[in-house]
Structure 1
Amino acid sequence: MSLVDDFRSLHRGRAPGDPLVLPGPWDAVSARVFVEAGFPALATPSAGVAASLGYADGEVPPDEMFAAVARIVRSVSGAVPVSADIEDGYGLPPKELVERLLETGAVGCNLEDSTGGVLKDPHEHAEWLAQVRAAAGDGVFINARVDTFIRGNADPAAAIERARLYVAAGADCVYPIFAPPGALPRLRSDIDGPLNTGAKPDGPPSLRELGELGATRITFGPGLLLSATEELRKIAAGLR
C-alpha cells in the first residue's frame, strides 16, 4: 500500500471519540519528534513553517514553502505520510501545483478558499479544486479548507454549502477552520466525508471531546510551535 493509500485509510472507519490526530511539524527536528512519539501521519502548518523561516503567515515565497516541506518529508524518510499546507495554491496552475507538491514527497495538501483575506467564489473555487483533483488523480489527499468562520460568517449553513461543493469537486476532507465546537455536530451530519477541526494543544475541549462532537481529524495550526517557543523562552530566561 502506498503512503497516500495509508493516509486515506487513516481517515476511514474512525469511532466517535477517536479522531485522527495530526501534529504539525514546522521543521525537520519537530517532524522527527512527532514520528518518534508514534503519530501515524503529519500535517504541516503554513503559519508554523512561515515562522520557522522568518516570515509572517501568508508571506512565504512558494519556492521556500515547497523546499521546507521537502526537508520535513525527507527528515522522516517515508516513515509516515505527510500532508502540506500550501495555502491558496500560490496562483499556480493545477498541474504545476500538483507536480511541485509531489516533488516534495508529500501525499496530501491543505488548500484554502480565500486569498488576501477575501473569500473566493465557492463555485469557481470548486471548479479549481476539480482541476487539482484531475491533475492529481488518486495521488494526493485534498483537504479543502472552508474559511467562512474565519472571515466572520458564523452561520454553519454557509460553511456547509461550500463544503458540499468541494466534496463534489473531489476533496477528500473538508476543514471549516475556526468552526466553534458547538457547530461540529451539524457540520458532521450535513457534510459527507471526513471533517477536520482545529484544536489547542492543551484544550479545552479535549481531543476526545472534539471527536465525539464530529471531528474525524484534528490539526493544530501553529499551536505546537507556539507552545514549543514558550518553553524555549523559559529555558532562555533561565540561562540569563
Structure 2
Amino acid sequence: MAAMDRVFHDLHRQGLLLLANVADAGGARLVERQGSKAVATSSAAVAWSHGYQDGDKLPLALLAGTVESMARVLNVPLTVDIEGGYSDAPEQVAKVVETVIAAGAVGINIEDGTQPPEQLLRKLDAARNAASQRGVDLFINVRSDVYLKHLLPAEQRLEELLRRATQYAAGGANGLFAAGVVEPGEIATLCREVTLPVNLLWRAGLPSSAELQRLGVRRLSAGSSIAEFLYGAMSGLTQRFLENGQLDTSGLKAHSYAELNALMATKADNT
C-alpha cells in the first residue's frame, strides 16, 4: 500500500496520465491489461452497476466491496471517486475515506458540487487526517464544479475556479479536477496559475491529448463516458435480441448520463 501511494503521486509528474474510469473488478483488470498506469473508478458507473443513481446514493458497504474487489486484481494504483464524500458531515467523510483506504485505494476524488468551497475544505481536512492515521499519503484530487454545473456566468467561471484552486491547495489537496473546462486558452491559464496538477474531464471538442500535455495538463479522465456507451450498447443489443433473437451489433450508441441516472431511480428516490 505504501509503495502504491508514492507511485500514484509520481504519475502526476510524468506527463499526461490517462484514466479510463471503470465500474468493477473486471473492468479494472481489463484497463490494467491495456497498459494503464493506474485505475480510477467513475462514481456514476459504480452506482449504476449496483442499480443506484449517481449523487451520493450508493451505500458505503457496496462501495467498499467494489473497491476491495478491484484492489484484489490490480498491480497498479487505484483511485476512487467518492463524490461529495457521501455526506455533508466531515466526520462521515472521514469514515468513507478510512473505508476506501482499507479496501485498497491510494487516491480519491472529492467534489464541491453546489456547496461553498469552505464546506469542502472541512471535508479535505477530515480526509487528510483519516489518511494520515492509516499511514497513507492519499492523493486527494478535488473536483470543482464551477464549470460542470454552470455555477456562475461563463465570463466569471475562470476567476472563481482559480480562487477555489488556491483555497483547495492551501487546504491540502493534491490535484485540481477542473471538470467541464474545454477551451484551450482557459486550460493554459489554469495550468500556468494553479500550483496543483490539473485534471480535465473528457468532452467532445477537447484538444488532443498531445496538445493537452503541451498546455500542461497532468491528468485526463474519461469519467462516466465509457459506462454510458457500454450501457447504451447493452440496451441496443438486448432490444434487438428480444425482438428477433439476433445479436445485431450495428448502430450501437451511448446512453446519456441523464438517461442512465433517470433509469436507476426508484420510487424511494422520488419521494
Amino acid at match of 1:40: K
In 1, the alpha carbon distance for the partners of 2:172 and 2:5 equals 15
Does the 8 Å contact 1:199/1:207 carry over to 2? Answer: no
Give the superposed CA RMSD: 2.0
Distance 2:183 2:68 in 1: 33
| 2:50 equivalent in structure 1 | 53
- 5+ long unaligned stretches in structure 1: none
Is 63-72 or 169-178 further displaced after alignment?
63-72
* Contact 2:202-2:221 within 8 A present in 1 as well: yes
Counterpart of 1:214 (choices 204, 213, 216) is 216
TM-score by length of 2: 0.78
CA distance in 2, matches of 1:222, 1:151: 16
CA contact (8 A) 2:19 2:221 kept: yes
Find the aligned partners of 2:54 and 2:96 in 1 and give their Cα distance.
20
Cα distance between partner residues in 2 of 1:144 and 1:205: 22
Secondary structure of the residue aligned to 2:223 is: coil
Q: Tell me, in whole angstroms, the C-alpha distance in 1 between the residues paired with 2:206 and 2:171.
A: 33
In 2, Cα distance between equivalents of 1:26 and 1:220: 12
Write the mapping of 1:1-40 to structure 2, written as runs, cut at 5 A.
2-14=3-15, 19-40=16-37
Residue in structure 2 matching 1:193, options 189, 196, 208: 196
- Name the structure 2 match of 1:226: 228
Show the 5 A alignment for 1:45-124: 45-58=42-55, 59-76=57-74, 79-91=75-87, 93=91, 94-114=93-113, 119-124=114-119
The answer to which structure, 1 or 2, has the higher relative contact order (CA under 8 A, 6+ apart) is 1
Q: Percent identity of the aligned residues?
A: 31
Q: Secondary structure at the match of 1:218?
A: strand
- 2:126 aligned with 1:131: yes
Q: CA deviation at 1:38?
A: 0.9
The question of whether the paired residues in 2 share the 8 Å contact of 1:113 and 1:120 is answered with: yes
SS of 1:139's equivalent in the other structure is coil
Matched residue type, 1:129: L
Displacement of 1:204? 4.8
**2:192 partner letter:** S
After superposition, give the CA deviation of every residue in 1:102-154 in whole Å (9 maximum; x if it has no partner).
1210110000012xxxx222133223312321331353110011011122123
- In the TM superposition, residue 227 of structure 1 has moved relative to its aligned partner by 2.5
Instruction: Report the alpha carbon displacement of residue 10 of structure 1 after superposing the two structures with TM.
Output: 0.4
Counterpart in 2 of 1:149?
147
Which letter does structure 2 place at the counterpart of 1:239?
Answer: L
1:203 CA displacement = 6.3
Larger Rg computed on CA atoms: 2
Cα distance, 1:74 vs structure 2: 1.9
Check conservation: 2:182, 2:205, Cα contact below 8 A: no
Structure 2: 5+ residue runs without aligned partners?
Answer: 241-245, 249-271
Residues 149, 82 of structure 1: alpha-carbon distance in 2 compared, 3 angstrom cutoff: same
Q: Which moved more, 1:90-99 or 1:166-175?
A: 90-99
Cα 1:232–1:128 change in 2 (3 A) is closer
Aligned pair count? 229
TM-score (norm 1): 0.87
